[in-house]
Amino acid sequence: MINLEAPKKHAALIDQAHQVAMNMLRPISRKYDLAEHEYPKELDMLAAMIDGLDSSGASEGAGATGVRRDADSDDKTVKNGANLASVMSVAEMCWGDVGLLLTMPRQGLGNSAIASVANDEQLARFKGTWAAMAITEPGTGSDSANIITTAIKDGDEYVLNGEKIFVTSGDRADLIVVWASLDRSKGRAAIKSFIVERDNPGLKLDRLEHKLGIRASDTAMLILEDCRVPLDNILGSPEIPKTSEGFKGVMATFDATRPAVAASAIGIGRAAIEFVREALDKEGMPIRYGLAGTKLTAVERDFMEMENLLQAARLLTWRAAWMMDRGLRNNLEASMAKAKAGLAVTQITQKAVEILGPRGYSRSLLVEKWMRDAKINDIFEGTQQINMMIVARRILGYSSRELS
């Protein structure tokens, strides 16, 4: 049975994440929203702090974790709760600022990919680095199976060619986890992920995107032109299976990253709800719980619905992370959490701006920024529609060919 409370042993870690969000991220949130593409120097102190925690062994669950399963093990007990602690920490930090969290050193989505599928040697070799993840291409959005970036074996190296867009932290990260095809004629079975060092001469920055939200985070377009990487930089097996099972292994990365994105949405949603509650209290309009719906004001009903949306998203997300800690397949739960949280935070922040009126729409408050930041959670790591399709396939037992 899942315990819906934060594990006691992670309470200090979660509190620490909240303190960082409140005292370090929230105060500079507007500064770097306005100064798009300017690196937040204040985050270097946080990176040093995380390194200190890591060396002391006190950082369990603080960073980008992943999902590693032992298919031969019958032991389904919770080993350490690191994934649950991680998503709870992400939620706290995004209560402060999601864009700043996305640009925090060594906390990239690529780190989750490495943690999920890298072998022991790769885990040791790339420990302490900052990894971004490059999947989307100009002609390939949510359908990752249509990737056209190629990786051709040449001696003791792979040669990568292609373009990647919307790469979060693509300019600042140390490593880029690039999805490419070993043989496009073999379809999705040949899709693999490769670790490319950011200073590789074959990897070039084409441009940085100007965005609606998460403006503190750099989002890059990258070009791979005869980009050579060592053979041992491929994540997982280099063999191309006869079926798409290998691609399923690559896609399993999302089982770890989607709960993290859902946690990001939860943090933003909670920030908006708490701000609205405080504003209503100051106006002498506290939320009156326990009354019949017919006796509530329209604002009270809207506010309670905002809380309901957040709670549902939170419980789905915690469950998806809890399953990772037990070594259970959480593909369905990860997609449910991501779909629900992305939609919920979009509705919550829009309603928060509406309730607060003209001031909510102005830059005098952070609420309008949260509304802009919120939308990305409904888009990256698989759009709302893609995640809903995955949920439908899993529940109905359909393949991607049968339901697309």
Q: Which residues are catalytic?
A: 381
Name the 3-class secondary structure at 287. Answer: coil
**Please, are residues 93 and 26 in contact by the beta-carbon 8 Å criterion?**
no
- For the chain, the C-alpha Rg in angstroms (whole number) is 21
Residue 11 CA to chain centroid, in angstroms?
22
d(CA 89, CA 260): 10
Q: Which amino acid is at 89?
A: S
**Pick from 3, 49, 51, 42: nearest CA to 24:** 42
Long-range contacts of 385-393 (CB under 8 A, 24+ apart): 385/142, 386/142, 387/258, 387/335, 387/336, 387/338, 387/339, 387/342, 388/335, 388/339, 390/331, 390/332, 390/335, 391/332, 391/335, 391/336, 391/339
Rounded-to-integer distance, Cα 350 and Cα 357, Å: 11
At CA 107, angle to CA 102 and CA 109, rounded to 5?
75
Cβ atoms within 10 Å of 113's Cβ, excluding its own: 27
Q: How far apart, in whole angstroms, are the C-alpha atoms of residue 204 and residue 224?
A: 6
**φ, ψ at 132 (rounded to 5°):** -95, 170
**Biggest CA pair distance of the chain:** 75
Structure-derived torsion over alpha carbons of residues 81, 112, 216, 261, reported in degrees to the nearest 10 = -60
